[in-house]
Amino acid sequence: MGGAKLMDGLAMLAPDVSLSVVVNTGDDFEHLGLRICPDLDTVMYTLAGLANPDTGWGLRDESFQALSTLERLGAPSWFRLGDRDLGVHLERTRRLRQGERLTEVTHVICGRLSVGPAVLPMTDTAVATKVQTHDGELDFQDYFVRLRCEPVVTGFRFAGIEDASPSSEVLQALDHAEAIVFGPSNPFVSIAPILALAGIRERIAARPAVAVSPIVGGQAIKGPAAKMLGELGLDASAVAVAKKYGGLIRGFVLDALDRDLAPQVEALGIRVLITNTVMRSPDDRRRLAQETLDFVRNLTPTASD
């Protein structure tokens, strides 16, 4: 789930690993009539080797001609739509309008982009992450892109989650998984929506699951996770994340920088692996993936053993 770079590392372990990536869709939104799925796209583009290595979003070698026209026309242009990226949104939207499920559409697009692993949207039903802040409740992209995560967060709501169910593909992937890895993703807005779907938590708890910490030395690897922890009155530390996943995971991968925190995580009944978790190169991705895989394979069936 999430953590596109780690998933890319796991994908490199094929055929030893047969990977399914369950992706948050709470960030999805309609923009200019297009269905945009930022997390799904980041995972797809990363696994296809097409991701922009500099920005952390979008495609490499991207151009912005359509966006410059939109700007000239005075249209909403706060969301940085690339030209190649637009092709994906147009085709996704076209297929969804034809009645295909997001899972099916993603399968077709991934096939065309030569993505090996199964990329599975967490649900085919609309779920919209709302960020509750001192400035009121905000749509996720409004908070994240337009307001650059500046408002102070007080909570989250996943609108539509009660009526949404995980896709059958997601349930099957979880039921057949040898192990489950939580990527170093934002626990509140990337992982929590997946966990909030009916039937997910039980399935994860029934299998060996580990998480890779998204917090290193009190900082988020990427995005507002540390800021959110602080604003919610929690320690901006890996321990707070491990606590949040308590009851679900049996192992936790901690960065070497945070080795002092290991006892606090172990006190939660969670095994710890200490290693370098910051992925700067493809080799880093593969190494962390291999170490994480070895770690989860060596966990005994229950966390207390």
- Binding region for its own copies (CB under 8 A): 32-34, 62-63, 65-70, 72-76, 82-88, 90-91, 93-94, 97, 108-109, 112-113
Q: How far is the CB of 142 from its own copies (least distance, A)?
A: 17
Of 34 and 296, the one with the shorter C-beta distance to its own copies is: 34
Of 97 and 146, the one with the shorter C-beta distance to its own copies is: 97
Cite the beta strand spans of the chain per DSSP E: 20-23, 29-31, 34-36, 118-121, 128-133, 136-139, 153-159, 180-182, 209-212, 215-216, 219-220, 251-255, 271-275
Q: How far is the CB of 205 from its own copies (least distance, A)?
A: 38
Closest CA to 199 of 103, 124, 250, 123: 123
Of 74 and 301, the one with the shorter C-beta distance to its own copies is: 74
Of 76 and 136, the one with the shorter C-beta distance to its own copies is: 76
Residue 4 region by backbone torsions, left for phi larger than 0, else alpha for psi between -120 and 50, else beta? alpha
Q: How far is the CB of 91 from its own copies (least distance, A)?
A: 4
Q: How far is the CB of 81 from its own copies (least distance, A)?
A: 9
Residue 284 and residue 290: Cα distance in Å, rounded?
A: 10
Q: How far is the CB of 75 from its own copies (least distance, A)?
A: 4
Of 90 and 198, the one with the shorter C-beta distance to its own copies is: 90
Task: Determine the distance from the C-alpha atom of residue 284 to the mean position of all C-alpha atoms in its chain, rounded to a whole number.
Answer: 19
Alpha-carbon torsion angle 285, 286, 292, 294, nearest 10: -170
Residue 108 and residue 272: Cα distance in Å, rounded?
A: 38
Distance in angstroms between the alpha carbons of the first and the last residue of the chain: 26
Q: How far is the CB of 82 from its own copies (least distance, A)?
A: 8
Of 145 and 220, the one with the shorter C-beta distance to its own copies is: 145
Residue 154 and residue 132: Cα distance in Å, rounded?
A: 5
Closest CA to 251 of 269, 276, 224: 269
Residue with structure tokens 């995005």?
223
Are 184 and 223 within 8 A, CB to CB? no
Of 74 and 99, the one with the shorter C-beta distance to its own copies is: 74
Residue 295 and residue 274: Cα distance in Å, rounded?
A: 10
Q: How far is the CB of 96 from its own copies (least distance, A)?
A: 9
The DSSP-derived string for 233-258 is TS-SSHHHHHHHTTTT-SEEEEEGGG
Q: How far is the CB of 243 from its own copies (least distance, A)?
A: 42
Of 77 and 172, the one with the shorter C-beta distance to its own copies is: 77
